[in-house]
Amino acid sequence: MKSKIHEYQKSKKRIMSNKLVLGLAIIGSIFTGCSTGDDEGITPATGVISGTITESKTYAFGNYTLQGIVKINPGVTVTFDAGSTITCDKTTGDNALVVLNGGKLNINGTASQPVVFTEVSQVPGSWGGIIMYGDAPINAIGGAATATSEDGNNLPYGGANATHNGGSLNYVRVEYAGAKLADGTKENNAFTFYSVGSGTNLNHLVAYKGADDGFEFFGGTVSATNIVSYGCYDDSFDWQDGWQGQNNSNWYAYQTVKGNFGMEIEANNNNNAFYPKVANVTLKRAAGTTPEVAGTIEIDAFQFKKQGNGEFSNVIIDGYGNYTESSTTYEGAAVKIQDAATNTDQVNGSKVKLLGAKITNTTHTEAIGATGAITVNFPSANYTVNASATGASIESGNWVTVGGTNLIP
């Protein structure tokens, strides 16, 4: 009898234990299913971000105010969780987010919950955007290994650290940037990278309606994938100082209302042995788009000057046709070579390549010189067309949607 009672008690304990384990498993699954940045049922955090950030910090999902020129110090990591919105106001003065060399910025957006940096007036050129500094190699004017930034911070950049790591930017949209700091004139871009290295991750970024370039690289070795420049007044993509990113892909530009070159490419008159590479490129110019400033006839898809170079494959070019100013009509081109030295050293030297391009609604489908004195003859293998080119393949989602409008028409 005692043994039966004992067995019954043991069985009851086993049942109770199993129920406890099951209950804990259910609770664990519930909490595991909730992740940072999932705003359903979560009250967004709020706060002001200002001054120099001297200690590592994570900004949880929320709505924040960026006030002033915020700098991330060397040795400090700042993280933003998915779904956050960071807003500044130009009426309070200059605003920008600056990552100093040695600091890191990690932005953990997703396709459905991007991190958005914006400005209350929604006027292009209202703030300085995101600016990152590193110490990767550059080749500045005269072959200098260092230079001083032109953003208003007047900081040195350049170095020998090719693998510099400034953090990881994922699914980030920067809106209405383009103001130079200190004097308010146009200069900065939505995203500006000064000698940023290959250890930095740049993936799924949108430059939206900036008053200068969408993206600009000042030397460095960083690469960028899945990036969109939409409605920026100057160039969609721009670089100088010997930028040499090798693993770039899926670059999409849509120029509308105002816009200059799809890509403006230069190298400070340095005849570099290297060149950057970008695969899967789409450059589109909407009908009626005009140059940013009358009299500056910058209406071509690609412009190479001052020894600028690069290899571009699987390219779509559309809409770079004629532009009439007063009584003069200017003809757009898929590729324009601005000066004789670039033509001789870069084009003839096989350091400018357009491989597999589909070119439509563009006056000059061939490469041309800026003047009649520049005759451009690409080596045949370096300038090829492909009617089946697909260009950039951009993932859909909230990260490329503004005010209910999809930025990829």
Does residue 408 surpass a pLDDT of 90?
A: yes
- Residue-wise pLDDT tens digits, 40-91: 678 999 999 999 999 999 999 999 999 999 999 999 999 999 999 999 999 9
In angstroms, the CA 108 to CA 37 distance is 9
pLDDT number for residue 42: 87
Does residue 2 surpass a pLDDT of 80?
A: no
Q: Enter the DSSP assignment of 143.
A: G
In angstroms, the CA 227 to CA 237 distance is 10
pLDDT number for residue 357: 98
In angstroms, the CA 359 to CA 297 distance is 20
Residues 6+ apart with CB under 8 A from 188: 96, 128, 129, 131, 151, 152, 177, 178, 179, 180, 181, 212
Query: In this structure, what is the dihedral angle of CA atoms 77, 167, 398, 53, given to the nearest 10 degrees?
Result: 30
Strands 130-133 and 96-99: parallel
Banded pLDDT at 409 (limits 50, 70, 90): confident
365 or 6, which is more confident?
365
Residues 222 and 200 sit within 8 Å (Cβ to Cβ): yes
Q: How large a percentage of the chain has pLDDT more than 90?
A: 85
pLDDT number for residue 17: 43
- Residue-wise pLDDT tens digits, 373-406: 999 999 999 999 999 999 999 999 999 999 999 9
- Residue-wise pLDDT tens digits, 166-201: 999 999 999 999 999 988 778 899 999 999 999 999
Query: In this structure, what is the dihedral angle of CA atoms 219, 220, 221, 223, given to the nearest 10 degrees?
Result: -70
Does residue 292 surpass a pLDDT of 60?
A: yes
When pLDDT is averaged across residues 189-217 and rounded to a whole number, the result is 98
In angstroms, the CA 304 to CA 364 distance is 15
Residues 6+ apart with CB under 8 A from 236: 207, 213, 214, 215, 229, 253, 255, 259, 261, 262, 263, 283
Banded pLDDT at 145 (limits 50, 70, 90): very high
When pLDDT is averaged across residues 200-211 and rounded to a whole number, the result is 98
Task: Single out the residue of 225, 162, 171, 169 nearest to residue 199, CA to CA.
Answer: 162
- Residue ranges of the domains in the chain? 1-33, 45-403
Report helix, strand or coil for 48.
Answer: strand
Residues 382 and 353 sit within 8 Å (Cβ to Cβ): yes
pLDDT number for residue 296: 72
pLDDT number for residue 131: 98
In angstroms, the CA 388 to CA 398 distance is 29
Does residue 11 surpass a pLDDT of 50?
A: no
- Residue-wise pLDDT tens digits, 247-277: 999 999 999 999 999 999 999 999 999 999 9
* Mean pLDDT taken over the chain: 91
When pLDDT is averaged across residues 108-133 and rounded to a whole number, the result is 98
Does residue 36 surpass a pLDDT of 80?
A: no
Per the document, the length of the chain is 409
